Structure 1
Amino acid sequence: MKTNKERQKKILVATEFGEGIEHTLRVAIKFAVMHDAEVVLLHVNELPMPMAEFFSNEDLVKKRKELAVKRLNEIVDSHKDLGVKISWMIAEGKPYKNILIAAEELMVEMIVMGIMGKHGKEYAMLGSNVHKVIRKATCPVITVTEKVTNTDFGRIMLAVDPEFGIRELRSFLQQYHEKFNPVVELVCVAVKDNEEECETYLAHQKNSLVKQGIESVVTTVLRGFSVSNSLLDHIAVSDVDMIWMETHGRKGLANFFLGSITEDVLVNSPIPVLSLHPEREAPTHGKTYYHENLPI
């Protein structure tokens, strides 16, 4: 049996086979190169109740599994010449629960999820799963909402808050810098007449990054009444390729506002968003069994 150190690093891509799978995979492959990792596609079969009228539960599960296996194999075959190993696995049940369990058991470096082309009830269902994964995942989560035309990701925007540090993002950025040497833009939104505090904080963080050897760092203070709108407006007029954010768990009313900011950015960002929840402890649970083409 392999030890943890000998395990192949993995990046988990949760897919519903929607129109965004190609773009989601492009992002995952970019980071697979960074981590020298394998990409693992995960499809979760969640049976909608209306279909039970036409199939027995057993027939329905079998049919959906067969279709999923066929589609997963097609995706793997069409990307086999990209220099990154791609495998797949299938689970049954609640998507967000299976995504979190698979991520823990495979000890993945990150989770990549696409939410392109989702509207109304379809988005409400998928959006809820994405939100739960981001809040509970112990690793970075990347969401892809629109077509990705450029995966160079040569300019990364780190949205920061003076109330919190960026220790986890800084560590992850160090790995990314060593592979791709991007320009890093530190952005702080001043919404409480705290522009001076933001400027001081950004200068401190910039100096820390430069000491780490990350020298291409610029800082920007945005002014506005809404954090999410300010960030999205800046993305629209800048040349950043990806936004990175730390999410911090809060309770009660503060949690509502934090959720609103996170969801606004995730849903409306034209570029991929990497979310990282610092100091999140890994969940514990019993073994879950998958239909898959790779060993855990």
Structure 2
Amino acid sequence: MKKILVPTDFSTEAENALKVAAQIAKKHNSEIYLLHMLEIPMQEIDAVSTYTDVPEVMFFMKMAHQKFEDIMNSSYLDGLTVHEIVKPDGSFNGISEICKEHGITMIIMGSHGSNGIKEMFIGSNAEKAVRHSDVPVLVIKNEHDNFSIDDIVFASDFKNDNKETYRQATEFATTFDAKLHLLMVNTASNFTTTKKANDRINEFISDCSFQNFTLNIYNDESVEKGVLNFSKHIDADLIGISTHGRQGIAHFLNGSISEDLVNHANRPVITFKI
């Protein structure tokens, strides 16, 4: 958690995420990389790729840097190392490259979610980050004056391809001295008996030394509803879930529970890439 990337469009939601990142950075001696993906008009894309002094491009760049200056003067960033990154690309396709270039270990970003037609065809920026990022993505929905994590719901089907994400989740929980509530949601279309579910979870975690957890089997109409309802029931501080990062037609046809949760959950969500 030494290098935290915070994408910003200078909105209230983005500032909420930055405030959380600042609190975490102060507790864990982290550096913050503040990223703005500059939305350039399509006719200027070629100009941006060659970095020529096109007036319109230079104007957008100057405005972004001015907004960064205002943010840097915020009192909640006092004493922190904050790096400024402006990329002339409005998409999140290159976010993995940015993380590799700067050694980013976590992304924290704000989101107000998206619904209906926009969600189906466009999706939120947080959803795009979840889809493309190889590092954990913490999505913040609201302002947190005192961001603390005591109880984390880790939702999974507890199959072998999720073991690496569980390891990441235990490391994250250990950092915050938090309890993991391991959750398997039963649905009518994919029912598993309580005994088989418990056996699967116990087998899944058998080679992990982490001990601060509870086992939970929860029945609901869908996995998403089950995760949301269980999290509300225990008043969890955070929802953790694995993501396959599906893209293209596979994403459109299969969807992603993690991305649905990012859009619909009111509490913070952290995703771990399988």
Do Structure 1 and Structure 2 share a fold, with TM-score over 0.5? Answer: yes
Q: CA deviation at 1:90?
A: 0.4
CA distance 1:32–1:266, change in 2 (3 Å): same
Q: CA deviation at 1:239?
A: 1.5
SS at match of 1:263: helix
1:93 to 2:86 alignment: no
| Aligned match of 2:155 | 159
Q: Distance in 2 between matches of 1:149 and 1:270?
A: 16
**Matching of residues 48-59 of structure 1 within 5 Å:** 48=41, 58-59=54-55
Q: Distance in 2 between matches of 1:117 and 1:136?
A: 17
Q: CA deviation at 1:119?
A: 6.9
Counterpart pick for 2:12 among 13, 19, 37 = 19
Note if contact 2:114-2:263 (Cα within 8 Å) is conserved in structure 1: no
SS at match of 1:94: coil
Q: Distance in 2 between matches of 1:20 and 1:66?
A: 22
CA distance 1:252–1:125, change in 2 (3 Å): closer
Q: CA deviation at 1:29?
A: 3.1
Counterpart pick for 1:44 among 31, 37, 50 = 37
**Matching of residues 59-98 of structure 1 within 5 Å:** 59-79=55-75, 82-98=78-94
TM-score, normalization by structure 2: 0.81
| Aligned match of 2:233 | 237
Counterpart pick for 1:108 among 104, 108, 120 = 104
**Matching of residues 209-288 of structure 1 within 5 Å:** 209=208, 212=209, 214-248=210-244, 255-256=251-252, 258-278=254-274
Note if contact 2:180-2:213 (Cα within 8 Å) is conserved in structure 1: yes
Q: Distance in 1 between matches of 2:140 and 2:132?
A: 18
SS at match of 1:96: coil
Note if contact 2:242-2:258 (Cα within 8 Å) is conserved in structure 1: no
Q: Distance in 1 between matches of 2:38 and 2:248?
A: 33
Q: Distance in 1 between matches of 2:121 and 2:54?
A: 24
Counterpart pick for 1:193 among 188, 191, 194 = 191
Q: Distance in 1 between matches of 2:35 and 2:122?
A: 15
CA distance 1:105–1:113, change in 2 (3 Å): same
Across the aligned residues of Structure 1 and Structure 2, the Cα RMSD in angstroms comes to 3.3
Q: CA deviation at 1:14?
A: 0.7
CA distance 1:148–1:268, change in 2 (3 Å): farther
SS at match of 1:245: strand
Note if contact 1:190-1:222 (Cα within 8 Å) is conserved in structure 2: yes
Q: Distance in 2 between matches of 1:247 and 1:277?
A: 5
List alignment gaps of at least 5 residues for structure 2.
45-52
Q: CA deviation at 1:10?
A: 1.6
Tell me which amino acid in the other structure corresponds to 1:238.
Answer: I
Note if contact 2:5-2:32 (Cα within 8 Å) is conserved in structure 1: yes
Q: Tell me the alpha carbon deviations over residues 130-160 of structure 1, each in whole angstroms, 9 at most, x when there is no partner.
A: 3333223221112223333551111111111
Q: CA deviation at 1:246?
A: 0.9
Tell me which amino acid in the other structure corresponds to 2:135.
Answer: C
CA distance 1:135–1:49, change in 2 (3 Å): closer
Q: CA deviation at 1:73?
A: 1.7
CA distance 1:232–1:149, change in 2 (3 Å): farther
Q: Distance in 1 between matches of 2:31 and 2:222?
A: 39
| Aligned match of 2:133 | 137
Q: Distance in 1 between matches of 2:247 and 2:33?
A: 33
Q: Tell me the alpha carbon deviations over residues 88-115 of structure 1, each in whole angstroms, 9 at most, x when there is no partner.
A: 1101023203423211211210122212
Q: Distance in 2 between matches of 1:251 and 1:173?
A: 23
SS at match of 1:127: coil
Q: CA deviation at 1:36?
A: 3.5
Q: Which moved more, 1:249-258 or 1:238-247?
A: 249-258
List alignment gaps of at least 5 residues for structure 1.
1-7, 52-56, 279-296
Q: Distance in 1 between matches of 2:26 and 2:197?
A: 34
Q: Distance in 2 between matches of 1:138 and 1:117?
A: 21
Q: CA deviation at 1:41?
A: 0.4
